[in-house]
A and B are shown apart, each in its own frame.
Chain A
Amino acid sequence: MDTTFALSARGVHMEYRDRKSDTNLVAIDTMDLDVAPGEFVSLLGPSGCGKSTFLKIVNGLLQGTAGEIRLRSGRSGREDAMVFQDASLFPWYSVLDNVAYGLICAGVPRQEARRRSIPLINLVGLEGFAERYPYQLSGGMQQRANLARALAVDSEILLMDEPFASLDAQTREVMQAELLRIWNAAKKTVIFVTHQIDEAIFLSDRVVVMSARPGRILADIHIDLPRPRGLDVKRQQAFTGYADQIWHLLTSHGVSVEPTPDVA
């Protein structure tokens, strides 16, 4: 194994306690994962397979029942930052204060944190919206702010939990292309959770396919598509080949997958 890694997970196992039935529910079954610095890795699996749980364990919001995870700390000393599903912006803060939040929590004085947040607001394409409140933004714009908030703490790894799942199909494609542009500019390691096959392939260097609950890794597929990628990549034969491969993998393991329009 490479001695430099951004994330290295060994034997991560997670059981939730179900108080009503007094049983344990296995959410993640002994998972190993290595991610190299700067790599874009997608975790792809059906809903309920433990993707969010894995990210929360990496982020420290949850503690696993077994296993070990090692993370590299970035230039700022921060290892990871989470981009949440459904944006989850603080509704009472402006875009600027939302983006500055992580820095303020890290002890950066408020004015300084705001000053350092502005380039990120511009990077995600929210120039001129710094003073708006979340309710004044569209779903796509909220996700841009959500991304800027995670980027602001300048961590080594960006953990993204289905950030585009609630967007309409067109906005989602725009955001996918935008994410690749931003990833290229910010030079981050990304672990991107999704249940959409074409989204995973389009964005990633590697797609890690997970089974239905309890989540196990079924395959780790390298995506050899040239970068930078435009949305037209999705029409290429290599792309649809990957999509077919993953689709068959999932269905053969009893996971029902809606074939997306891009899957032939």
Chain B
Amino acid sequence: MSDGAAARDARLRGSLSQGVGYRTILPRVRRKRSPLGRWYRRNERAILGISGLASFFAFWQFGSMAGWIDPLFFSSPTDIVAAAIAEVQVPRFWDDVRYSLTEVTVGFLASFVLAVPLGLAIGWYRRVSFTFDPWLNFFNAIPRPALIPLVVLWVGLGIEMKIIIVFLGGFFSIILPTVEGVRTVEPQVLDVARSFRASSRRIFTSVVIPATVPFIATGVRLALGRLLIGVVVAELYAQTQGIGVLIGKSADSLQSDRMMFGILLFTLMGVITTEIAVRVERRLQRWRPNVNVEEGN
């Protein structure tokens, strides 16, 4: 054996024996926390969330007071509160709120009541699907706001126009997932129903509809988002009545505090409607493990 080879072997042995070692895994040591620390750990989510918001508003408030935020464009939290207090005392404001709420409610209900049965039928019956698929794809491809001038031409600038726009936003958001839901019902579960000689009607009510509920729920949540966009765009376009007009007119007259208040109102509407939808969804889907886990958090 040459000297070089012997040296190489020695190096190899050395590096191998160097690689041998042990790792000790110890149990987690529970650190003792002070009562304040424990309270913080328990409420960490709320504390961090609230302090983030609070710092943001404080920064906004002091910034505008100190002059490095221009209140003309950005207003300030106290100004917005003041504007809100002034606004709720004006009867016209409540007319606007009622007007916007009517658009949302009527538009949503109409889209739900039409989209769900039609979606179930399209998903279930091949012939209905063949007939309606081209229409669905065509209308869904149109960006909804592009239709506003056309709808105005038909029905004018009144509430009907806005309801139709809201309806269109909601309708397609609900019908597409509904169709998808019916088409993905597990064939094996359908076999079980047929095996027990379930009538077509019962197959629909005991299998197709329950299996599609999660999809309809997804559609509804999508719809609520789209639908509010429809309200704002349609109201801004028509400039007749509603919270959108409040926002538009305030912006025109540089009342940024009033405008911010209007934006907050729409936000509130979005939060509340989504919250209602989520609650209804949970009630309808107690049989789904993941939904229940969410609830437990």
Contact = CB atoms under 8 A, between A and B. Distances in A.
Contacts of A56: 191
Given A82-B195, A106-B197, A93 B287 contact: yes
Interface stretch (B37-45, B141-149, B198-206, B263-271): B198-206
A105 B286 contact: no
- What range describes how many residues of B lie at the interface? 20 to 34
Interface residue SS majority, chain B: helix
B206 A61 contact: no
B288 interface: yes
A92 B285 CA distance: 8
B124 to A, nearest CB: 17
A251 interface: no
A58 to B, nearest CB: 11
A42 to B, nearest CB: 20
B189 interface: yes
Interface string B176-214: 000000000000110111111111001000110011010
Contacts of A82: 192, 195
Given A90-B189, A90-B192, A90-B206, A105 B199 contact: yes
A101 B287 contact: no
Interface residues of A, number: 22
Give the residue among B192, B210, B211 with the most A Cβ atoms within 10 A.
B192
Nearest to B211: A92
Interface string A32-57: 00000000000000000000000010
Given A91-B288, A92-B287, A101 B206 contact: yes
B27 interface: no
Interface in A55-83: 56, 59-61, 81-82
B206 A88 contact: no
A93 B210 CA distance: 9
B190 to A, nearest CB: 10
A161 to B, nearest CB: 10
A133 interface: yes
Contact of A91 (B193, B197, B287): B287
B289 interface: yes
A216 to B, nearest CB: 25
A183 interface: no
A61 B194 contact: yes
A104 B196 CA distance: 9
A102 interface: yes
Contacts of B193: 101, 105
A61 B287 CA distance: 27
Contacts of B207: 90
Interface string A93-119: 100000001101110000000000000
Contacts of B192: 82, 84, 88, 90
A106 B199 CA distance: 9
A16 interface: no
Contacts of A59: 195
A29 interface: no
Contact of A92 (B194, B195, B199, B210): B210
B202 A105 contact: yes
A56 B188 CA distance: 12
B195 to A, nearest CB: 5
Nearest to B197: A105
Interface in A3-45: none
Interface of B: 188-189, 191-199, 202, 206-207, 210-211, 213, 286-289
Interface of A: 56, 59-61, 81-82, 84, 86, 88, 90-93, 101-102, 104-106, 133-135, 153
Given A81-B195, A105-B196, A105-B202, 17 more contacts: A59-B195, A61-B194, A82-B195, A84-B191, A84-B195, A88-B188, A88-B189, A88-B191, A88-B192, A90-B189, A92-B211, A101-B196, A105-B197, A106-B196, A106-B197, A135-B287, A153-B196
